[in-house]
A and B are shown apart, each in its own frame.
Chain A
Amino acid sequence: MDISWAHTGTSVIASFLASLVECVEALTVVLAVGSVRGWRSALIGCATAIAVLLVIIAALGTVLTHIPLRIIQLVVGTLLLLFGLRWLRKAILRSAGLIPLHDEQAAFAKNTELMRYFGTGHTTWDKIAFAATFHITMLEGTEVVFIVIAIGAGRTGALLPASLGAVAALLVVIALGFILHRPLARVPENTFKFIVGVLLSAFGTFWVGEGMHLAWPAADWSILALIASYLAIALLMVPLCRSRSQAVTSNT
């Protein structure tokens, strides 16, 4: 099946930005663990989790090829909508100042403190460092795997661009980690989540429609119209939510 730039380009961007957010969250904990307890066990834990995730991806990829595409589009589209609209809702509420922004600096400090509580790892094999980085990489990595599958499974040939976006995000975060050696607090996570929420919601709507046998006007280019529409609504909702909460405050 032929896929257009509208599909490939937006797949890469959506996958890259969503994966970037998850990788930054994982990197924050890995840096906290590595800087307190030593890098060897921390990096081995991280690498082991990545290896386990690669096995899961290989297994899921094989299973997906045996399921009819319409069913994948409907199921993955529904999951993508639940996921994307949830992110978009949270990003709107964060931008409106109704829920606090995610603070990587605070997360780094909290994890560093936690690692110090368990004492420093003087032995060559540090189980705590291994377990901590394995867990966080598995948790955040599972989210990345889902994002790649959700973005890539809706259309034949779309899995590769979605995977490339995630790999690019991982490489960018690893490079920044080596350069900075500290949490990436300056990464505007809420802005990423806002954009990714819009992109995933648009993809989800498009694939659910395709799974329901809808013939979208202008085919793949409808994704761009959906992205523009969700973005417009989300941008309008930020000041509206802010004013609603202020109105409630002034009335009480």
Chain B
Amino acid sequence: MPREIALFDALIPTLLLVFIGCLFVQLAIDWLFTRLGWYRYVWHPSLFRIALFFCIFGGAGLLLHVV
């Protein structure tokens, strides 16, 4: 993958796009968890959410690095 992508002639880091994509994934998971009421079983919901986001973003970022 290229490190930067040209968007309207402005070079934007691919990682930023990945970040935004991960945000959407996170939102979807968040919505699902709230709907199912799973956050009741989590000790610290916000910490869990942050950690989850780190995992998603880290995974995606590493994948980008490998590819």
Partners in one complex: no
